[in-house]
Amino acid sequence: MRFAKKIIVFLFAVLSLTIILGILMYFIEGETGNFASISLSLYWAITTLLSAGYGDTVLQTDLGRLVALFIRVLGSSIIIVPLIVVIAEICKLLYKTLFGKKMAVLMKALFL
pLDDT digits (tens, 9 = 90+) for 40-65: 888 888 888 887 766 777 788 888 88
Dump pLDDT digits (tens) for 75-105.
888 888 888 888 888 888 887 787 766 666 7
Burial class from Cβ neighbours inside 10 Å (0-12, 13-18, 19+) for residue 23 reads middle
Q: Kindly report the pTM of this predicted structure.
A: 0.67
Query: In the predicted model, is pLDDT for residue 1 greater than 70?
Result: no
Name the packing angle between helices 62-111 and 2-29 (round to 10°).
Answer: 170
